[in-house]
Every structure is written in C-alpha cells, then in structure tokens.
Structure 1
C-alpha cells in the first residue's frame, strides 16, 4: 500500500501556547491579530486563558494591587457628545451640572487614603479645563497635600501645552485621558472631537513627565476586530496604566439601550488586554459590578487585573470599598504601598 503523502503545511499553533512562550516567557505583548485570536476563543478555554493572564501579571508586575479612588470636581454640563456619558449637556439624562467645594474634595481624599488607596484622581466633565477650573484644581491639590499623604492624579479632558505644563508644575502624578475605543470605532462613539485630539493630549502629558493613564470602555457596539485594534492602539501608546471599563448603559444617552457585555466576553477581554500589555497597570474600573458581579471581580483579579478603583464612580455606584479590600486579603494580594508608587 502506498503511504499517504507527507503534508508540508505548517501545523496550527494554539494561541495560548504562543502567548505562553511569547508573553509569559519573553515579556513580549501579543500583536493585534493575536489578540483577536484570544478574543475568539471558545468559552471552554476561558479558565486556561485567565490562568495564563494571571501568570503573566504575576511574573511581569508582581502580586501588589494598586488601589485608587476618584472624585468629580465638576459634574455634568459637558459640551461633548460622548454617547456613553450621562454627563453630556446634550442628552436628556438625569445628571445636572454641579461643582464640589475644596473642603469636600479634601474630605474625599482623606476617606480614599483611609481605604489604603495610594492614588486620588480629580475628575471634571469638560472638553478641557478653563482658567477657573485650573485654579480650583490648584487650590484643591494644595489643600489635599496639606492634610493627606496620597498621590494626586487628574482627568480634565483635552489639554493645551500650556495647561500640561501647569499641571506638571502642580505636581500632578498621573493624568487620565481615555481613548475610549479603537481609532476606527471612535466616530461611532464621539462626534464633537477626534481620536487624534485625545492622542495629542496624551503625547504632551508623557513628554511633560507625568504618568499616562489611558483606557476605555468595552461593550459600546465595537466588533471583536475593533476590540483587538484598541488593544494594539494602547500597546503603541505604552501607557503606565490602563483602566478597563464596561459599558453601564445610562438612561437618556445614545447608548442607553445597548446590552450589557456578557461576563465571559468581558473576562476574555481582560485577559487579552493583559497579554497585549504584560507590564502595564491594568485597572478594574466602571461597569464591572453589573457585567461581572462579585464572582467576576475575583476572576478578573485572578485573570490579569492588578489595580482597582474602590468605592463609587462619577455617576454610578461601585462596590463598597470593603468588599474589594477583603477580596484582596482573601487572595493574599498586598495593596501597593505609597512609597512604591513614587
């Protein structure tokens, strides 16, 4: 009998085997096409995927978890049309414009520090800061520094070079400005400014010596291909921190009727972003409560996450800080000390 011909076609290499050698062993993040392969994995591979992402996090980031609290200095009335956001003044949402006074800001920083957090982020719903807002931020930072030992971050929208320099001079440790989604999907999410405008702000922030915090929201109607593209966009930017949010559909916004992302898809995304960004702080942020619940929080922290926002978010409720902190104790994951963030 004539033996069958020997195939010369290359054998299919499993994406998790590739990631194990490339990311875990060598610390090289997955490419866009490789991230897409991860996102397309069947749900029965999820446990193996999360275990690998956890191994990558432990090897390249260590066991410490960075804890952060956020506070809204200026809420609502934003002129931009980010379709996910109830703070836009263009939508019929229940959020109304309001300012927080300096004593309340200091008290929020104190409560955040008591939770063990090392980072306190001052956020404002604006296109970019005007002179009044920057003066309020400067006064707030000075007042906080007089009473609280904590790193201060800001998220104030798009910046000019002069504004970047002012914030750096104030001693802002980290600046958050999310790209929100992939470059190709961005016009479906925001029309009042461009993805490139956000990118330019992030470039100036890095050049000024502040740490760059940049992430986005998953579940805004993007395809798996666009989700993989977003991971690649972030890998190119090389941010110090990536907050991963999951859409919590807000009444009155254009995305108010979108479905919540399935938990398995959300966890696959967490692991995929860890494999694309092996050395980056990957932070659980908004929407994880309704997307993942208590069990998902544990799975995420054992699947690549190494930072959390504790307490409430800007316009939605989060998990009680004690729940997250107790979970970290149960998992024997220490909270990163303040002197480790300097």
Structure 2
C-alpha cells in the first residue's frame, strides 16, 4: 500500500472508527481518489465503521409509485419527466392496489413502505389520495409509512405529519455546484428548504441522490459534505441507470469499483447515518457488488422493483442478508 493510502486510511480509522467523526469534504476526496488496489481495505474499514456506529441490523424497505409519469420537471436522469421522449406513461395507482403492495412489502420482512409520486409537489388531489391510501394501509398492514411527493409548502408538511407519515424522502440528487447540470426547472435551494421544514415538523429526513451523472470526484466529495451538513436520518444511494429518451440516456454506467469506493466514502463521511442501497445497483454492481456493498458500509436496502426499473428479487436480497448474518431491523425497533 502506498504511503498516501496508508495515511488516509489510518486517519479515517482514528477519526471515524474510533471517534465517530465523519470525514471532511477534502478527506472524502482523498478516499475517492484511492486506487482500486486499496478497495478491499477501504470497504473493510467502512464495514467496521458501520458495525460500530450503526450495528448489524439492516432496514428493509419497499417503494410504490402512486402517480407515475407526466412530471413537469426536467430532472435529466428521469424517464418520468413529461418533457422528454420517454417510455413511461402517466398513470395513477388505485387504493386497493396500494394496500396490496404494502401487504406484499410487509411479507418480505420490510418495516418501511414509501409512497412516491412523480410531481413537482403535491396538489389537493394527490394529497387526498395519499391520505386515503395511508388510512387504508393502516387498517390492514402493520408497517411504517414514508412519502416522497416532491417539494412541499409548510401547510403540506403539517398535513403529512398529521396523516402519520414518519419519514419524508426528498433527494438533493447531487452536489450543489453540479445541480444546474441535472435540473433546470427548480433549484437545489428549493429542495433544501423542503428538507428543513420536514425536519422541523418532527418527521425523519431521508435524502440522498444519484452517482454517475457526470459529476467529478470533487463534486462527489462535495455532495457527501452537503449531506453531512444536512445530517439526514437516511441516505439512499442510487447509481445512474441511463434511461432511453432522457438527456442522460447515453451516459456510461459507473464502474463497479468507483461505485463501491463511493459507498465506503459516504459511510466514512456519515458514520451514524442509515445508508441505503437504492436504484441502479443491479446494473452497476451485480450480485457480487451487492454483497461487497453490504460488507462495505451499507445498512439498508430497497427490495423488489424501483419506480421505472426492475430490481433484484426481494428473496435474493433477503437470502444474502441471511447468509451474511445481518438481521433485518424489526418494526418495533424503527418506531
């Protein structure tokens, strides 16, 4: 191992593993710049950090799209934008289908069920559908309910809190400096404002993004620092799965080693945060990479399919967790 690699990993061990203090932006960049020769040592350290500061439990979540397609925003990675020649058509899910999806999610052992809508922010019709869906789910399924409905007003935050939504997802997507290259129809600061209101209302904050959208390593380190400043309860890490018809449709998939280095680096920046494997991990990492990630800092997974792409079968993830002797977080442990 080179002296520089030895130095940064030794520093991370002392600062993060021993003291529980996350790496700074510049330190994260040093980790991201490590050669692939050091990947195994880096992942092992990230796993130690996860085990010490988060424990062995893994939170399992399922997601469902209540309102798909037809979004007015121009997020360049997303085939649900109504502005692109994308294959996703606009559709609404009815309440019985929503309840059935929650039941199937709970059967997998998941404790978290996230209702997602492709919108800039919720209108009255959507909020009414969410309220009816949450009530119907609560009548039949014992599961935590989260939502991801875009940017919110203070009144909407308060209403979701009253509905019993305990966690709200709103991704910053990428570093503040790179965001204008990803979205032009709203600002990074608007997203940040929603997240602050969610936190102040007492809901858990879920905020992550997508890696591999053309950002530099410096911007990836900046993004980790942005998230550390926000200090969310959960960070979902997605990897770009280029969608036909979108502006990012021709980008190359992130190399697996680069993706795994990012997983470890984000763990070292956020030692106590729930770090969740989300979309794109199948195409980016494959089956072996999923195991490496869970042994390299990840302590939460989305099981089943994503919003517009297919995921690994839930059974495959659950079997992997069992093989690794990683217990699924119980519902009463997440209350």
Q: TM-score range by the shorter chain?
A: over 0.9
Say what the alpha-carbon RMSD is for the aligned residues: 0.7
1:36-84 alpha-carbon deviations (Å, 9 max, x no partner): 0000000000000000000000000000000000000000000000000
- 1:32 partnered with 2:32: no
- TM-score scaled by structure 2? 0.99
Aligned partner of residue 113 in structure 2, secondary structure: strand
How far is 1:269 from its partner?
A: 0.1
- 1:203 partnered with 2:200: no
Aligned partner of residue 70 in structure 1, secondary structure: strand
Which residue is equivalent to 1:6? none
Report how many aligned residue pairs link the two structures: 332
Within-5 A mapping of 1:1-16: 14-16=7-9
Given candidates 199, 224, 240, the residue that maps to 2:217 is 224
Which residue is equivalent to 2:239? 246
Within-5 A mapping of 1:109-258: 109-258=102-251
- 1:84 partnered with 2:48: no
Aligned partner of residue 103 in structure 2, secondary structure: helix
1:190-214 alpha-carbon deviations (Å, 9 max, x no partner): 0000000000000000000000000
How far is 1:311 from its partner?
A: 0.1
How far is 1:217 from its partner?
A: 0.1
Which residue is equivalent to 1:95? 88
- Rounded to whole Å, the distance in 2 between the matches of 1:301 and 1:340 is 20
- Rounded to whole Å, the distance in 2 between the matches of 1:75 and 1:163 is 20
Which residue is equivalent to 1:327? 320
- Rounded to whole Å, the distance in 2 between the matches of 1:52 and 1:125 is 37
Structure showing greater radius of gyration is 1
- Rounded to whole Å, the distance in 2 between the matches of 1:82 and 1:55 is 36
1:257-300 alpha-carbon deviations (Å, 9 max, x no partner): 00000000000000000000000000000000000000000000
How far is 1:105 from its partner?
A: 0.0
Given candidates 26, 45, 51, the residue that maps to 1:58 is 51
How far is 1:93 from its partner?
A: 0.5
Unpaired runs of 5+ in structure 2? none
Aligned partner of residue 14 in structure 1, secondary structure: helix
Tell me which stretches of 4 or more aligned residues in structure 1 moved more than 4 Å. Answer: none
- TM-score scaled by structure 1? 0.97
How far is 1:16 from its partner?
A: 0.3
1:71-124 alpha-carbon deviations (Å, 9 max, x no partner): 000000000000000000000001000000000000000000000000000000
- Rounded to whole Å, the distance in 2 between the matches of 1:333 and 1:260 is 29
Which residue is equivalent to 1:5? none
